[in-house]
Amino acid sequence: MNIRTITTANQIHVECETVLVLGYFDGLHLGHQELFKKARQIADKKGLKVALLTFPESPKLAFVRYQPELLLHLQSPEDRFQTLKELGVDELFLIDFTSDFASKTAKEFIQHYVRALKAKVLIAGFDYSFGCDKKTASNLSAYFGGQVEVIEPVLDQGEKISSTRIRKAVVEGRVKEAARLLGRPLASRGIVVHGDARGRTIGYPTANLAPIDRTYLPSDGVYVVDVDFKGQTYRGMASVGKNVTFDGKELRFEVNLFDFTGDIYGHTLTIHWLDKIRDMVKFDGVASLVAQLEEDEAVARQWSKT
């Protein structure tokens, strides 16, 4: 997959005609994946390339009062690009959603960008909108002379799958639901840094992680996780929140890897969030904490997604 960052339509250069997918696609969930499946099918049938014009950050940044959450994602850029490659995208164009870009009318967007991308087919979701005149997916055929495919929502338990729904599930700790909607577990990366080293003294050494991506973390609690490290995957349990038993004041992100020993400071771990075990609670002493950790470990070791 070719990845190019552009600032204007003049910087777009494609050799082959394309099936162009339109949208932002935070998380590339099961609903999004239907667009790319359709694009790949059409491209293979017609001998075209699959192209995507999208944004590295949320378009909302150009329209609403700033909030830190607007810079968070459901996937790191690296994971997003890898998923797009797996979904069959040949040409990826990234453009910042600036005031200049937002000021383009629907007609100008089609004339400047869609034509430059040599699109013969457009693929968009049912809720796609474009142009400062706020045209919708149903208006695409009025501006574009080629084939238009509008993909209907994908439902889960009678409710549409959306990035908003997944974000809400994550921040509420419902990571198993988020994984079902994404089609894979939510992932977080962190560098192993020094902490209090208290876990070693109670038989549960943890790796303290400093998050390195602007991705969502689940709400406070203890979770079943799989951990990728040096090409191997370990089952473990992770905690997010303040260590209230020891009067902790800072937010901590820690993971205990099962069946692993060794110092791994400075290494990057990838955490795959599988399910929530419990909320963070304050224990009346080390003995009761250890007893609970033993129960948590048993749950995590026995957990399966079936």
| Residue 74 counted as domain residue | yes
The torsion defined by the Cα of 159, 164, 169 and 170, in degrees rounded to 10, comes to 150
**Mean pLDDT over residues 134-154, rounded?**
96
Domain housing 288: 186-302
| Residue 172 counted as domain residue | no
The answer to pTM > 0.85 is yes
27 and 64 both lie in a single domain:
yes
154 and 195 both lie in a single domain:
no
**pLDDT at residue 196 tops 70:** no
25 and 60 both lie in a single domain:
yes
**pLDDT at residue 214 tops 60:** yes
In this predicted model, what pLDDT tens digit does every residue of 28-82 receive, in sequence order?
A: 999 999 999 999 999 999 999 999 999 999 999 999 999 999 999 999 999 999 9
| Residue 181 counted as domain residue | no
Considering 144, 160, 176, which residue would you say is the last residue of a domain?
160
192 and 266 Cβ atoms separated by less than 8 Å? yes
Share of the chain above pLDDT 90, in %: 85
45 and 124 both lie in a single domain:
yes
| Residue 170 counted as domain residue | no
pLDDT for residue 200? 58
Domain of residue 253, CATH code: 2.40.30.30
Q: Considering its fold, how many domains does the chain have in total?
A: 2
| Residue 297 counted as domain residue | yes
Domain of residue 156, CATH code: 3.40.50.620
Confidence of residue 189 (pLDDT cuts 50, 70, 90): very high
Q: What CA–CA distance (Å, rounded) separates 108 from 114?
A: 9
In this predicted model, what pLDDT tens digit does every residue of 257-304 receive, in sequence order?
A: 999 988 899 999 999 999 999 998 877 778 888 888 999 999 999 999
CA distances from 155 to 70, 152, 162, 181 (A): 25, 9, 9, 9
